[in-house]
């Protein structure tokens, strides 16, 4: 699907008038020509705002919330961002590839003990695609300062009941309040583990959710391990049921890739049935262009694997190296793929649970 916005209309609204104002926006869009309403799911995006922020850049033109003209974020796309700052251009591109009724909940940070309701709302419709076959998606942006107990009612109030719901949590899971309430409203939880500052706490949150709910986890960071996991699965002939008391596994990682190394360690620990004595060892090293290097050794056999942004490579004695190229996905496309999948990633689930039960000495 095309990702260029060809038209958009926004309206200031209130929580009680969302449906009425959306109908008016659709009428205005329809007067400009035929357009198909496209919706594959509800996409509920949670992002936090600071109480001191007077206003923030949003999906409508900052000069006028009712302006239908498209604009681009002039900030450097590679510049560091706050972990909870989801670039609006990225969100638009994701929704263009995976048309959804997008509900953005902008929650004020801080403790909120009292139930409540959104304090402000805006609605909009964006049109994508060529003039011969345009399609449109609708947006509901809510500003909230209510307690977590109110989140399910907020989501259910504005979500469509005939399509699945995905929750996109843009904040750091290790610094987030309990997610029980919001996760119970959706089928899929999308997040990026690169934003975790405390891996043990974030994994503890996820493992608790997995014990309580049937939720499909989708980790954007986990996708980066796909070529390496495929290469190791093809190279290794060790049955998943074999005990690994004599197996030594060491994972070296760059300074900024501890979370990626932990996910790989959890996956290997689950696949090899590692016990406390054989859980993979993680070590920070200067690896140059490589993200990770893995050494697996047991009597009579040694496997060395490397992962970079370009490829995964596995070497073992007596065999030619196995090389698998890493795909260079557009960030929006990789997220859209996860949203479209709506299936249980059993390998990720097992990796998370293995990390949660990792021996204390390995943490």
Strand pairing report for 120-128 and 135-144? antiparallel
Q: What pLDDT digit, counting tens, does each position of 145-185 carry? A: 666 667 777 788 889 988 999 999 988 898 776 677 788 88
Q: Mean pLDDT over residues 274-291, rounded?
A: 89
Decide: 147 and 116 in contact? Cβ < 8 Å. yes
Q: What pLDDT digit, counting tens, does each position of 289-316 carry? A: 999 999 988 777 788 999 999 999 999 8
- What is the DSSP annotation of 133-191? S-EEEEEEEEEE---GGGHHHHHHHHS-TTS-EEEEE-S-GGGS---HHHHTT-SEEEE
The neighbour count for residue 285, using CB atoms within 10 Å, is 13
pLDDT at 342 (0 to 100) = 82
Decide: 237 and 208 in contact? Cβ < 8 Å. no
CATH annotation of 223-329: 3.30.360
Mean pLDDT in the chain? 82
Q: Which residues pair with 290 in a beta bridge?
A: 308
In degrees, rounded to 5, the angle at the alpha carbon of residue 308 between the alpha carbons of residues 338 and 363 is 75
Please provide the size of the chain in residues: 363
Position with higher pLDDT, 128 vs 235 = 128
Domain coordinates in residue numbering, the chain:
5-186, 223-329
Chain CA centroid to CA 358, Å: 24
User: How far is residue 317's CA from residue 55's CA, in Å, rounded to a whole number?
Assistant: 60
pLDDT-derived band at 111, boundaries 50, 70, 90: low
For residue 104, which of 50, 59, 53 has the smallest C-alpha distance? 59
Question: 66: Cβ–Cβ under 8 A, 6 or more apart, which residues?
Answer: 9, 10, 11, 12, 60
For residue 1, which of 144, 185, 136, 183 has the smallest C-alpha distance? 136
Residue 52 clears pLDDT 50, i.e. is over it: no
Q: Which residues pair with 107 in a beta bridge?
A: 48, 144
Using DSSP's 3-state secondary structure scheme, residue 138 falls into strand
Burial group, residue 65, by CB count within 10 angstroms (0-12, 13-18, 19+): middle
**CA contacts within 13 A on the Cβ side of 173:** 27
Position with higher pLDDT, 51 vs 357 = 357
For residue 156, which of 21, 44, 18 has the smallest C-alpha distance? 44
Residue 352 clears pLDDT 90, i.e. is over it: yes
Largest Cα–Cα distance in the chain? 74
Helix axis angle for 258-271 and 199-212, nearest 10°, is: 50
The neighbour count for residue 160, using CB atoms within 10 Å, is 14
pLDDT-derived band at 65, boundaries 50, 70, 90: very low
Decide: 296 and 302 in contact? Cβ < 8 Å. yes
Residue 7 clears pLDDT 90, i.e. is over it: no
């Amino acid at each position: 699907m095309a990702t260029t916005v060809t038209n958009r209309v926004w309206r200031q609204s209130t929580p009680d008038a969302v449906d009425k104002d959306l109908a008016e926006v659709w009428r205005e869009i329809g007067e400009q020509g035929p357009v198909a309403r496209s919706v594959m799911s509800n996409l509920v995006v949670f992002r936090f705002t600071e109480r001191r922020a007077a206003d923030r850049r949003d999906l409508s033109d900052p000069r006028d919330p009712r302006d239908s003209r498209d604009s681009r974020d002039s900030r450097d796309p590679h510049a560091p961002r706050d972990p909870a700052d989801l670039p609006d251009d990225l969100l638009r591109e994701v929704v263009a590839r995976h048309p959804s009724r997008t509900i953005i909940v902008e929650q004020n940070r801080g403790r909120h003990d009292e139930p409540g309701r959104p304090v402000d709302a805006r609605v909009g419709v964006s049109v994508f695609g060529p003039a011969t076959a345009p399609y449109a998606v609708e947006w509901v942006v809510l500003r909230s300062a209510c307690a977590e107990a109110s989140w399910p009612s907020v989501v259910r109030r504005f979500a469509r009941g005939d399509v699945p719901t995905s929750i996109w949590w843009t904040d750091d899971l290790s610094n987030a309040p309990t997610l029980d309430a919001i996760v119970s409203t959706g089928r899929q939880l999308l997040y990026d583990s690169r934003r975790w500052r405390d891996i043990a706490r974030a994994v503890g949150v996820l493992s608790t959710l997995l014990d309580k709910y049937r939720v499909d986890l989708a980790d954007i960071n986990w996708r980066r391990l796909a070529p390496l996991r495929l290469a190791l699965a093809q190279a290794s002939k060790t049955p998943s049921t074999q005990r690994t008391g004599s197996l030594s596994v060491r994972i070296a990682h760059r300074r900024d890739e501890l979370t990626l190394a932990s996910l790989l360690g959890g996956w290997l620990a689950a696949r090899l049935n590692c016990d406390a004595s054989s859980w993979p060892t993680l070590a920070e090293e200067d690896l140059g262009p490589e993200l990770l290097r893995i050494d697996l050794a047991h009597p009579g056999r040694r496997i060395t694997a490397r992962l970079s942004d370009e490829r995964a490579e596995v070497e073992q004695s007596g065999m030619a190296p196995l090389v698998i190229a890493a795909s260079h996905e557009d960030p929006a496309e990789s997220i859209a793929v996860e949203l479209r999948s709506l299936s249980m990633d059993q390998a990720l689930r097992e990796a998370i649970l293995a990390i949660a039960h990792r021996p204390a000495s390995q943490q």
